[in-house]
Amino acid sequence: MATETIPVIDLGPYLAGEAGALDRTAKELRFALTEIGFYFIVNHGVPREQIRAVFDQVKRVHDLPVERKLAYKINPHGTGYLPMRGNTLRTSTVQTGTKPNLNEAFFVKREMPADHPDVLADRRYRGTNRWPSELPGFREVVVGYCNTMEGLVKKLVRVYARALDLPATYFDTPFEDCQFSLRMTHYPHQEGPVEDEFGLAPHTDTSFLTLLAPNDIPGLSIRTQAGTWIDAPAIPDAYVVNGGQFLQRWTNDFFLATPHRAINRSGGERYAIPFFCDSNIDWPVAAVPTTVGPDKPPKYPTTYYTDYMAWYQKRNYDVLNAPDLQAAE
């Protein structure tokens, strides 16, 4: 199989419960994540109408006046509005000296009830979401989509387990109350080229896995293991999936966290909806048994979500370094 092409994995047989489909799909996944680090999924079961509905809501929130969006400015929990050029990828090992990213985004995480013990304790990354009051229906559509994505992740992690020669249920408990973040991004058209300015500069994700919703407007590029950049095609109804830094820690670098970037040269506005997912916030992230041994010691210390993400956001999210938000921490 070519390693300069992003593979397409058909989830249909596995999701339908066909005999042998889980292990066949796992074999394809293993190739994708050890050779390319990205793959497409088709026949994933997410209704086209639900995807279209959430894109409509993303446009609605970004059509609000800037002063209204700033009323929901991102907080230390990582929920709310990230202004245009509000983050700079200083932790990237791929690109140095980049300008702030030319995008704006609205983040939501798991919908937490106000009386949840983590909310009452103001536990980092377990706060309530920030819902624009002027957008009726926004919350319901977005929460429904997050629920669908979480359900798909719980099916996908069984494929990951088998791809790592683990029992299919290995990740079930770690991902039972998984941490996730939906990033609803708006990329304005870029006249180019502008040196070191990107919609999203070259970087690797932090997540165990990222699901990027099908998009008619291309803009994503990935860097192959050979060091060349290839554009991800827009495949109808196909999600783009990749792993990040937590996946590397779980697999002792067996699975890749592939660098990627985004530039919108479409001539119009581009919206993107990545869903980043990790294990339970309290789960100790360490290399799984099949990726370590006498000649393969763990490359990373045991990692916890809160510590890692607090470090990452402090380095990259300029808006979180504002005095008022530092005080909130």
Give residue 1's pLDDT. 45
The contacts found for 123-130 with CB under 8 angstroms, 24 or more apart, are 124/76, 124/77, 124/306, 124/310, 125/77, 125/78, 125/179, 125/281, 125/305, 125/306, 125/309, 126/77, 126/281, 127/75, 127/77, 127/79, 128/79, 129/79, 130/72, 130/75, 130/79, 130/80, 130/81
The domains of the chain, with CATH numbers, are: 8-328 (2.60.120.330)
pLDDT in tens, 71-83: 999 999 999 999 9
Residue 91: which of 255, 280, 257, 327 has the closest Cα?
257
Regions of the chain where pLDDT drops below 70:
1-3, 86-98, 192-195, 316-329
Give residue 328's pLDDT. 31
Give residue 97's pLDDT. 54
Tokens of 229: 């950049």
Assessment of whether the complete model's pTM goes beyond 0.75: yes
Q: Please count the other Cβ atoms lying within 10 Å of the Cβ belonging to residue 138.
A: 21
Give residue 94's pLDDT. 57
Give residue 84's pLDDT. 84
Give residue 95's pLDDT. 57
Give residue 323's pLDDT. 44
